[in-house]
Every structure is written in structure tokens, then in C-alpha cells.
Structure 1
Amino acid sequence: MRRRDEADFTEFAAAALGRLRRTAYLMCGDWHRAEDAAQDALVRIYRRWDKLHRQDGLNTYAHKVVVSVVLDQARRPWRREHSTAEPGELPRPDGAGIVDDRQVVIAALAGIPAGQRACVVLRHYADLSIEETAQVLGISTGTVKSQTSRGLIQLRELLGERAAS
């Protein structure tokens, strides 16, 4: 790789790392796994850096890679979590009401299927369009719409159960 390309990649990686890490965290709910996923994604991007068109959807490609890494991590047998919590059980806020709502939403995100979670995160957190989300996930725009809709319905149900208790 040429020195200029190295500098361009370093600049891109510095700017994208935080965003990729947050997207990965919303996908998996674990900061350590998210850090690993973001770093693995940057390694994959680095390997293809010479072939990537930097003006045409580099951020979309980066999201595609980080989502792929998170989903790959989840398939590894040593990464599977064995939770003793009941499905859909969400953390309770403290009596003072200081608990950050993000933790409740992240726990609820973990309660929906991976495909729906990916669509919801990419559409509503990463602010990708339907077309960009479809490209990232390698699915049709109709599937993005239906998975996002179903994911939001399940999130509302999980968060509604949480608010009712």
C-alpha cells in the first residue's frame, strides 16, 4: 500500500472507529465484543483498501463489514452466551430514576432476532436509508422494511412490558 493510501486509511479509521464500535455494541450488547468487531472490521477494510472507491459508499461498506463481523462472532460456539435470565427480562431502573434509558433499550434490542436488530440499528441508529441497509445486509428493500417494522413492534412490546412493570 502506498504511503498516501496508508494516511487515507489511518484518517478513515480514526474517524470511523467510534461509530463502528457503537453500531457493533447495539448489535451485540457487549462493549468488549463491540471493540473486537470494530477492530476486525477495520482489518477487513484495510485488506481491501486499494480496491475500495472511497467516494462511493465507504461508510455503507464499513457498516456492512461490522454487521457481518458481529453476526460471524455470534455464530462462533465459544461466543454463545448462556444466560440464566428469562427471555425478555429487562433491567430495572434504580429508585432515583437515574439509570440511563440506553441500557433498557440495549437490553430490549438483545431480545429481538438478529436480522430485525440489524435492520433497526442500521435504519434508526446508523441513519442508513432503506436502500443502503438492504445493500449492507444483502437483502431486498422489502425485507428491510418488513424486518424493521417487525423489530420495532417487538421493541415497543418489550419496552411497553418494561414500562408497565
Structure 2
Amino acid sequence: MTRAPEAHDADFRAFATGRWPRLLRTAYLLTGHHHDAEDLVQVALVKAYARWHRVAQASDPDAYVWRILINAHRDRIRGLRVFEWLTVRFPERSERDRTEQVLDREVLARALQRLPPRQRAAVVLRYIEDRTETEVAALLAVRIGTVRSRAARGLEKLRADPAVRELRAPAGEQEVTDRAGAAQRSGVR
């Protein structure tokens, strides 16, 4: 029994509308540009629509579409021969009372910009999108160990970033944090 095209379109429209904000956020964190993120999400949704009968029947339609998004991003990166420059503005608008959060997000976005694309993808999917290592490995088509190492290296670079370190500890506590980190690395407790 085949479904009417109207039902097919309605199902897809409901799916796309419900997932758009999260897809856009992920795409923004991967690309660093609002317009590129919108383009990437649109490409992913067009591909999902073309295969909607398979996507809808999948055990996890969200993972199917996220995989399409990641593959589209990977294809996009392969074609790029220029450096990417992340913007300092996130897609959502802030209110004046949330200025501090917005500034923190800008610092994090700049720090993410400095990560290599593969490490950035692992960190964004694993920690910002809160996906499991298994899900990230499936989305990036790599082994779980690769996800772990890329995420660990990415986090290490983020932690070493001076701007991120300022976020983690107020100015007076920075020296204490530095000494504690050095002691932990050397095995002293």
C-alpha cells in the first residue's frame, strides 16, 4: 500500500520543521558561517527528501539525516581550497541581559575556528550536540578510537587556548588553575 504524495510531503515537512533549528546549529558550528550553515542544511534536507521513503523507514531517521549533513559538509570541505573564517555571531539573537553568554559563545566559536576541521567536527558532535562516541563514529565514518583521539586533541587545544582559559577561571584564579593543571599532568596530587 503506497502513501499519497500529500502524506509523504506532510511527513517530511513536519520532520524538517522540527529538526531545522538543531540541524542549523550543528551546521553553523561545523561551517562557522550562518549562510553556509543554511546552505548545508538545505542540501541535507533536499537529499533527505529525495530518499524520504528510506529515511522514514530507518530505525533512527534523525541519525540518517545527520549522516547526510555530515557527508554534505565533508564534500564541501573537500572542495574548499581557501581558509574558513568563523563569524563572531551565532544564529540566535540575544537579549541585553544575556550579553555575557553571547560573549562566551563568541570566544568559543573563535576557539573552535582554530581547530582543524576533523577535530572541530568531533568536538562539536560529541560535546556540543551531546552525541555518543558510537554515533559520532557512524556519522563521520571513522572508528570509535579515531573519534576519541580527535575529540581529545580538540579538547586539549581548546583548553590550551588563552581565551577559553579565561572563561574557565576568573582572572585571580588563573594562576591557581595553571598550577593545578601542571601538578595533575606531572602526577602530583
1:136 aligns with 2:143: no
Task: State the match for 2:184 in structure 1.
Answer: none
Aligned to 1:103: 106
Listed as ranges, the gaps of 5+ residues in structure 1 are 84-89, 91-96
Unaligned runs of 5+ in 2: 89-98, 172-189
Deviation at 1:35, TM superposition (A): 0.7
* Residue among 147, 151, 154 paired with 1:148: 151
Q: How much does 1:55 deviate?
A: 5.5
3-state DSSP of counterpart to 1:52: helix
Q: 1:51 to 1:106 in 2, by over 3 A?
A: same
Q: Percent identity?
A: 38
For residues 62 and 44 of structure 2, the distance between their equivalents in structure 1, rounded to whole angstroms, comes to: 12
Equivalent pair of 1:105/1:159 in contact (CA under 8 Å): no
- 1:114 matches 2:86: no
Counterpart of 1:126 in structure 2 is 129
1:68-92, CA deviations, whole angstroms, 9 ceiling, x for partnerless residues? 2223223334x73476xxxxxx9xx
User: Normalising by the residue count of structure 1, what TM-score does the alignment of the two structures yield?
Assistant: 0.81
| Alpha-carbon distance between aligned partners in 1 of 2:150 and 2:83, rounded to the nearest angstrom | 24
Q: Please say if residues 29 and 107 of structure 1, whose CA atoms lie closer than 8 Å, have aligned partners that are also in contact.
A: no
- 1:63 maps to 66
Structure 2 length normalisation: TM-score? 0.71
Higher relative contact order, structure no. (Cα contacts within 8 Å, ≥ 6 residues apart): 1
Cα distance in 1 for residues equivalent to 2:26 and 2:57:
20
CA distance in 1, matches of 2:83, 2:119: 19
> Which is helix-richer, 1 or 2?
2
- Cα 1:74–1:159 change in 2 (3 A) is farther
> What RMSD in Å do the two structures reach over aligned CA positions?
2.4
Q: Would you say 1:30 and 2:45 are equivalent positions?
A: no
Mapped partners of 2:164, 2:15: distance in 1: 41
Give the distance between the partners of 1:75 and 1:51, measured in 2 at CA: 27
